[in-house]
């Protein structure tokens, strides 16, 4: 019997009702990566209101066919593609934009097939959901490209995804880059993120991998040649697992140019979530999924850092990632927005809300073991500058700070000496 795609019933059962009475007519579908022609459709995100070059909102178009053909400002189809690309950067590993939804009846949906080609061109085997504005009926379609694009009825069954599992990992990588790459050399700037991504993948592939269940003590070393499934390694009531990439010493990634110009070294801390929807997946494939998620995040961080670097500045300001989970989806969908060092999590929630069509107040903060900013401040203080914050009510102000005890200073010096001595002993 052939596999069938599914949709997340807790989200979509009330989706049409939530849209009723709003101006939303179009948006992106988000689901699992394609696997033997099968997808799991998880949620939908409305395309944000379009703006002109001055940042002013473009008048709303109620008819979805006219909306898709609109050329006011940026063509709407281009705007929609940009929205899907922005969503991709926010999603946890294992999820991707997989199609679109349109608020129109079934007959109207069929007529939209030709104009949808521009929106769906970068998606493999895309799906389309039509929502009848009168009856609120949901109809799923398989989009078929070609000389004459068409929509064919798709049989997609509801699924509550109670078997879903949150997989997360924390990877610490030291990257080295030539200083000239931070100048206005567009050729180098364009290739640097891809070089870093490739080298991070090589470094992670060389690591052994361990598995920790729900934060319990003890790490199980995984055999990457084994065909063992996730369900055979974790308890049925387990809700999350941690994958750890193990190696001795620092995981150093070299992104320098061949001309041996002066370079900088920077710590890159990446907290990466993956949403696993089915536990019959082989654990080695989940590890591969996690590697790709970490490497993609490394690419985005370096790309944004280079774009934000001005002129001849020789300091690379790497962004951190704020993970937030939209409430009301019944799944651990930890989406992340990239923030510069002087930004806080509220800035991330604002952008996530705009791109995912979710109220800013309805996002959960990441727990401490997945809170990248707290991990950075604790483990790499000074590498990522923290924004200035007001003192806690029970703390003295900066002008009234108590002096650091001499014993504490002595302990810090001893710890530093020990940290420098250990690598020397390991080399002998």
Tell me the range of 255-269, 280-294, 306-320, 367-381 where mean pLDDT is highest. Answer: 280-294
Q: What confidence score (pLDDT) does residue 315 get?
A: 67
Q: What confidence score (pLDDT) does residue 383 get?
A: 62
Q: Please say if the pLDDT value at position 76 is more than 80.
A: yes
Tokens of 91: 């999603």
Residue 1's pLDDT band, with cuts at 50, 70 and 90, is very low
Q: Give tens-digit pLDDT for 201-259.
A: 999 999 999 999 986 788 999 999 999 999 999 999 999 999 999 987 777 888 776 66
Q: Please say if the pLDDT value at position 364 is more than 70.
A: yes
Rounded mean pLDDT, 191-199 = 88
Residue 211 to residue 243: CA distance in whole angstroms: 5
Q: Please say if the pLDDT value at position 417 is more than 80.
A: no
Residue 380 to residue 361: CA distance in whole angstroms: 30
From-to residues of CATH 3.40.140.10 in the chain: 6-159
Give 245's strand partners. 209
Rounded mean pLDDT, 15-35 = 93
Give 220's strand partners. 211
Rounded mean pLDDT, 408-421 = 38
CATH 3.40.50.300 is held by the domain 6-159: no
Q: How deeply is 110 buried, as exposed, middle or buried, from its count of CB atoms within 10 A (0-12, 13-18, 19+)? A: middle
Q: What confidence score (pLDDT) does residue 378 get?
A: 87
Any idea which of 190-199, 312-321, 322-331, 413-422 has the lowest mean pLDDT? Answer: 413-422
Rounded mean pLDDT, 271-279 = 96
- In order, the DSSP letters of 359-421 are -GGGEEEPPGGG-HHHHHHHHSBTTBPPPP-PPPTTS--GGGPPPPPHHHHHHHHHHHHHHHH
Q: What confidence score (pLDDT) does residue 78 get?
A: 94
Give 176's strand partners. 254, 265
Residue 189's pLDDT band, with cuts at 50, 70 and 90, is low
Residue 229 to residue 193: CA distance in whole angstroms: 33
CA gyration radius for the chain?
Answer: 24
Cβ atoms within 10 Å of 146's Cβ, excluding its own? 7
Q: Please say if the pLDDT value at position 195 is more than 70.
A: yes
Contact 242, 212 (CB under 8 A): yes
Tokens of 287: 């590890």
Tokens of 182: 């931070």
Q: Give tens-digit pLDDT for 307-358.
A: 887 655 566 788 999 999 999 888 999 999 999 988 999 999 999 999 999 9
Predicted TM-score of the model (pTM): 0.83
Q: Give tens-digit pLDDT for 129-157.
A: 999 999 999 999 999 998 899 999 998 99
Q: What confidence score (pLDDT) does residue 55 get?
A: 75
Cβ atoms within 10 Å of 9's Cβ, excluding its own? 14
Q: Please say if the pLDDT value at position 393 is more than 80.
A: no
Q: Which residue has the higher pLDDT, 253 or 48?
A: 48
Q: Give tens-digit pLDDT for 79-104.
A: 999 999 999 999 999 999 999 999 99
Residue 400's pLDDT band, with cuts at 50, 70 and 90, is very low
Q: What confidence score (pLDDT) does residue 307 get?
A: 83
Instruction: Work out the percent of the chain whose per-residue pLDDT is above 70.
Output: 82
Q: Which residue has the higher pLDDT, 427 or 208?
A: 208
Task: Name the average pLDDT for the chain.
Answer: 84
Q: Which residue has the higher pLDDT, 413 or 334?
A: 334
Q: What confidence score (pLDDT) does residue 211 get?
A: 96
Tokens of 219: 């790490």
Nearest partner of 88 among 356, 347, 304, 362, judged by Cα: 356
């Amino acid at each position: 019997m052939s596999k069938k795609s599914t949709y997340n019933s807790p989200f979509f059962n009330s989706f049409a009702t939530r849209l009723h009475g709003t101006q939303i007519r179009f948006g992106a579908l988000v689901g699992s990566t394609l696997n033997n022609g099968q997808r799991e459709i998880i949620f939908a995100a409305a395309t944000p209101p379009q703006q002109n070059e001055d940042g002013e909102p473009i008048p709303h178009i109620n008819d979805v066919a006219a909306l898709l053909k609109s050329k006011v400002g940026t063509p709407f189809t281009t705007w929609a593609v940009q929205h899907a690309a922005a969503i991709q950067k926010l999603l946890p590993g294992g999820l991707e934009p997989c199609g679109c939804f349109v608020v129109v009846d079934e007959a109207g949906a069929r007529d939209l097939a030709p104009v949808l080609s521009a929106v769906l061109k970068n998606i493999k085997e895309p799906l389309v959901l039509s929502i009848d504005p009168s009856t609120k009926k949901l109809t799923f379609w398989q989009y078929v490209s070609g000389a004459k694009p068409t929509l064919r009825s798709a049989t997609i069954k509801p699924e509550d995804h109670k078997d879903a599992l949150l997989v997360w990992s924390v990877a610490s990588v030291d990257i080295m880059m030539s200083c000239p790459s931070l100048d206005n050399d567009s050729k180098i700037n364009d290739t640097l993120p891809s070089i870093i991504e490739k080298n991070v993948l090589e470094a992670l592939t060389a690591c052994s991998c361990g598995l920790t269940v729900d934060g319990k003590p003890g790490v199980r070393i995984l055999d990457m040649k084994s065909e063992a499934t996730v369900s055979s390694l974790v308890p049925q009531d387990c809700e999350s697992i941690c994958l750890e990439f193990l190696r001795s010493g620092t995981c150093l990634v070299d992104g320098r140019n061949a001309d041996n110009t002066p370079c900088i070294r920077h710590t890159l801390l990446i907290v990466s979530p993956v949403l696993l929807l089915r536990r019959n997946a082989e654990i080695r494939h989940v590890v591969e999924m996690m590697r790709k998620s970490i490497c993609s995040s490394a690419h985005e961080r370096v790309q944004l850092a280079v774009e934000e670097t001005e002129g001849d500045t020789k300091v690379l300001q790497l962004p951190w990632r704020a993970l937030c989970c939209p409430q009301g989806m019944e799944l651990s969908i930890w989406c992340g927005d990239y923030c510069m060092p002087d930004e806080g999590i509220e800035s991330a929630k604002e952008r996530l809300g705009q791109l995912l069509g979710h109220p800013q107040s309805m996002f959960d903060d990441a727990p401490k073991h997945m809170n990248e900013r707290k991990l950075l401040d604790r483990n790499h203080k000074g590498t990522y500058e923290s924004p200035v914050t007001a003192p806690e009510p029970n703390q003295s102000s900066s002008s009234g700070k108590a002096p650091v005890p001499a014993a504490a200073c002595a302990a810090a010096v001893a710890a530093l000496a020990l940290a420098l001595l250990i690598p020397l002993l390991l080399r002998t």
